[in-house]
């Protein structure tokens, strides 16, 4: 293939209790990218959106991920990438991860699938490092592996794809920007043992709930006593959204990644739609612009298909 189309899915990192280790790919929204091999080496980037993201590959999340891939290839190749971002940067929906993981997934197909998924995660993490100052794979892994993933370790990489029962995901994105780097800086460096115990009980419970398709256990485990109490102050309406969505029948939910988006899981579509209505009412009353999505977990993750050259 000489040219590919890439649908780079959004993702919800942390899944409430699993800071930096759990994540899930969403069917919607997704960035649209095209990528082609060029005759001369080097990486060129064009944006079709209006976010004004850097074009210099060294300063662009997709660019640095591709530079890491090319370095390992030890062969002179060039790529041209066109990006149309439909996942707004700073939304908490894995926008930087979609660009970085989408680019390396596309490059891999153009190169005849020479790299493993694990390699691609390693390259794409360079994009996350550029975006937030820290390598984390909880948005990248679900994009590249699909569905829900556990990043047990990043050094060495140990990623486990989890099975999960049918679920609907409702997301509200209040139109304020929260930079992941800022949302990480406000976190405390130390946690109390009692909080750590509660948190790892919840992570184990959530993973078990997904694997055993136990909705009640999933709901009980969607609790975060470490990160949410600090970060939620950055999100107007957060407490209300949680309370009213749970009252409307959601299993549970919380901050999507580093925010400001909030996600809720529901068993049935009609509940997911009721949850969306609650979210709409809350942000309309607050006078804050917002965007909502009612979507599913994307089982396949990032999609790469041949494009007409």
Q: Summarize as ranges the residues that interact with ligand HSE (CB under 6 A).
A: 13-14, 19-20, 94, 136, 138-139, 180, 183-184, 257-258
- 19 versus 164: smaller Cβ distance to ligand HSE: 19
State in angstroms the smallest separation of the CB of 231 from ligand HSE: 8
State in angstroms the smallest separation of the CB of 307 from ligand HSE: 29
- Characterise 21 by phi-psi region: left (phi > 0), alpha (psi -120 to 50), beta (else): alpha
Whether the Cβ atoms of residue 92 and residue 257 lie closer than 8 Å to each other: yes
| Residue number closest to ligand HSE, CB atom | 257
How far, in Å, CA of 248 to CA of 5, rounded? Answer: 39
- 218 versus 255: smaller Cβ distance to ligand HSE: 255
- 115 versus 254: smaller Cβ distance to ligand HSE: 254
DSSP type of residue 297: B
223 is an active site residue: no
- 125 versus 218: smaller Cβ distance to ligand HSE: 125
As given in the structure block, the two tokens for residue 292 are 């909502």
Exposed (0-12), middle (13-18) or buried (19+): which is 272, by Cβ within 10 Å? buried
Question: Crossing angle of helices 95-110/61-73, nearest 10°?
Answer: 30
- 110 versus 183: smaller Cβ distance to ligand HSE: 183
State in angstroms the smallest separation of the CB of 13 from ligand HSE: 4
- 70 versus 265: smaller Cβ distance to ligand HSE: 265
The single residue listed with the structure tokens 């679900």 is 142
How far, in Å, CA of 149 to CA of 160, rounded? Answer: 6
128 is an active site residue: yes
Q: Within 10 Å of residue 227's Cβ, how many Cβ atoms?
A: 25
State in angstroms the smallest separation of the CB of 1 from ligand HSE: 31
Q: Within 10 Å of residue 230's Cβ, how many Cβ atoms?
A: 13
State in angstroms the smallest separation of the CB of 10 from ligand HSE: 11
Got the DSSP string for 252-268?
EEEE-TTSS-EEEEESS
Q: Exactly one of 9, 149, 170, 180 is catalytic; name it.
A: 180
Got the DSSP string for 144-164?
HH-SEEEEEEETTEEEEEEP-
Whether the Cβ atoms of residue 106 and residue 33 lie closer than 8 Å to each other: yes
State in angstroms the smallest separation of the CB of 97 from ligand HSE: 7
The residues annotated with a catalytic role in the active site are 128, 180
């Amino acid at each position: 293939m000489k040219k590919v189309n890439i649908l780079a899915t959004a993702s919800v990192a942390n899944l409430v209790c699993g800071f930096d280790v759990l994540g899930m790919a969403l069917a919607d929204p997704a960035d649209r990218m095209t990528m082609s091999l060029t005759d001369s080496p080097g990486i060129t980037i064009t944006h079709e959106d209006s976010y004004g993201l850097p074009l210099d590959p060294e300063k662009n999340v997709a660019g640095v991920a591709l530079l890491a891939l090319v370095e390992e290839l030890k062969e002179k190749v060039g790529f041209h990438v066109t990006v149309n971002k439909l996942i707004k940067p700073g939304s908490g929906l894995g926008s930087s991860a979609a660009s970085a993981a989408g680019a390396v997934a596309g490059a891999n197909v153009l190169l005849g699938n020479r790299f493993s998924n694990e390699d691609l995660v390693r390259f794409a993490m360079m994009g996350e490092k550029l975006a937030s100052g820290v390598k984390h794979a909880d948005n990248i892994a679900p994009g590249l592996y699909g569905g829900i993933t556990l990043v047990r370790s990043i050094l060495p990489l140990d990623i486990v794809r989890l099975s999960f029962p049918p679920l609907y995901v409702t997301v509200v994105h209040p139109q304020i920007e929260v930079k992941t780097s800022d949302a990480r800086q406000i976190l405390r460096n130390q946690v109390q043992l009692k909080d750590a115990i509660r948190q790892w009980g919840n992570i184990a419970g959530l993973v078990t709930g997904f694997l055993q398709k136990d909705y009640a256990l999933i709901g009980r485990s969607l609790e975060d006593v470490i990160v949410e109490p600090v970060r939620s102050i950055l999100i107007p309406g957060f407490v209300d959204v949680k309370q009213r969505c749970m009252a409307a029948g959601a299993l549970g939910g919380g901050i999507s990644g580093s925010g400001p988006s909030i996600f809720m899981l529901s068993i049935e579509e009609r509940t997911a739609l009721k949850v969306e209505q609650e979210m709409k009412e809350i942000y309309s009353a607050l006078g804050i612009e917002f965007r909502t999505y009612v979507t599913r977990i994307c089982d396949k993750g990032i999609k790469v298909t041949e494009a007409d050259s």
